[in-house]
Amino acid sequence: VSAVSASAAAVQILGGILLAPLLPGLVQQWKARLQGRRGPSALQPYRELRRLWAKSAIDVEGATLVYRLAPSLAAGAIVVAVALVPVASSAPDLGVGHSMLALGGLLALARFAVGAAAWDTENGFALMGASRDLTLAVFVEAALVLSLAVAGGRDLAFLHWSAAARHWIVLVLAAQVFAPHAETPWLQLALLPVVLVVLVAALALAETLVAKMRMLLAPRLLAVGAAAGLLGVLTRLVELT
């Protein structure tokens, strides 16, 4: 194992697990600044995680094993997903491969677990969230923050962390796709924080400029995105021939 691939693995796992909550914190803080508010500190997600970790989990009366396992399963799936998304071209295979399609499957597994837990509690608000989350997922495998109204304590900490880690996964992926490709793996690793900060700033700006979108309009935007993707495939095909 070379030094560069070992450090890439360290950045990937430690960054994914420890730095992930920083990203939504930064988005929140910068968004508040852009809107002329003071806003919470960028470390706020860590404080919330510490607070929730100190509390005991809650077992909803009448709920089954599925409810008790779901947050752990969702977080477990996201941990595997973090191990799967490479941060640099020399990132080692951690035993789970680098298949992007497998990533989609793992994110879907996390969604399934949370949606099933929502049914188990029979909480209308949780189900509303789950229903919308799953409908949007039909059009995009994107990270969507969804929190269960009823989960408490450590379970909720797992879910909060999972949501933050999904930010990490999607942003690292976006960095790989959109950022200029550096030559050496060391340069890639060094460039990663810069690109992540730029993307966080872009996210904060976009969330400020675009008013909250009506839930039912979002699929149209995503469908336009999908159509653009298809057009891209077509141009590439014509180019090849």
Partner 1 sequence: VAAPATVFAARYLAPDARGRITAALTGVFVLVLALVLCARDPLTFLAGWELMTLVPAAIILVGRHDRAARNAVYAYIAITHFLGVGTWIAVLLLADAGAFGGTGELEIAPTTQIVIACTALVGMGTKAGLVPLHAWLPRAHPIAPGHVSALMSGVMIKVGIYGLIRVLVEWLGETPDWIGVVVLAAGAVSAVVGVVYAIFQHELKRLLAFHSIENVGIIVLGLGACLVLRGQGEEQWAALALAAALLHTLNHALFKSLLFLGAGAFERATGSLEIDRLGGLLGRMPWTGGAFLVGALAIAGLPPLNGFASEWLTLQVLLAVPANAGVGGGLAGAVGLGALAATAALAVLCFVKVVGLVLLGRPRRDRVATAVETPLPMRGAVVFLALACIALGILPGLLLGPLAGLAPWPVDDAPAAALEVPWGDALPTPGIFLFLVLGTVLLVAARSRRRTAPAPTWACGQLLEPELGWTSAGFTKPLRLVLEGALRPQREITTSVRSGVLQEVRYEGHVPHLFDSAVYRPVTRLGLVAARHARRLQSGSLTAYVAYLVALVVILLAAVRTGLVG
Write out the binding residues for partner 1, residues 81-140 only, by CB under 8 A. 83, 93, 95-99, 101-102, 104-106, 108-109, 111-112, 115-116, 118-125, 127, 130-132, 134-135, 137-139
Nearest one of 203, 148, 147, 138 to 170, comparing CA atoms: 203
Measure Cα distances from 147 to 12, 83, 163, 183, 237 in Å: 25, 23, 9, 40, 42
| Part in contact with partner 1 (CB under 8 A); list of ranges 2-10, 33-41, 178-186, 226-234 | 226-234
Q: Which of residues 158-177 bind partner 1 (CB under 8 A)?
A: 158
Residue 151's nearest CA partner among 60, 22, 18 is 60
What is the nearest approach in angstroms of partner 1 to the Cβ of residue 48?
17
Q: 18, 206, 215, 224: which one contacts partner 1 (CB under 8 A)? A: 215
Task: Give the whole-angstrom CA distance, residue 219 versus residue 232.
Answer: 20
Which residues 6-65 are close enough to bind partner 1 by CB under 8 A? 56-65
Question: Binding residue for partner 1 (CB under 8 A) from 19, 32, 34, 69?
Answer: 69
CB of 234 vs partner 1, minimal distance in Å: 6
- Residue 213 Cβ, how far from partner 1 at the closest point, in Å? 13
d(CA 56, CA 190): 39
> At its nearest, how many Å lie between partner 1 and the CB of residue 190?
26
Query: Among residues 120 and 204, whose Cβ is nearest to partner 1?
Result: 120
Structure-token match 């340069």, residue found:
187
Q: How far apart are CA 23 and CA 9, in angstroms?
A: 19
CB of 4 to partner 1, least distance (A): 20
Question: Closest Cα to residue 176, out of 6, 3, 8, 1?
Answer: 8
Q: What dihedral do alpha carbons 80, 163, 192, 207 form, nearest 10°?
A: 150
Of residues 79 and 204, the one with the C-beta less far from partner 1: 79
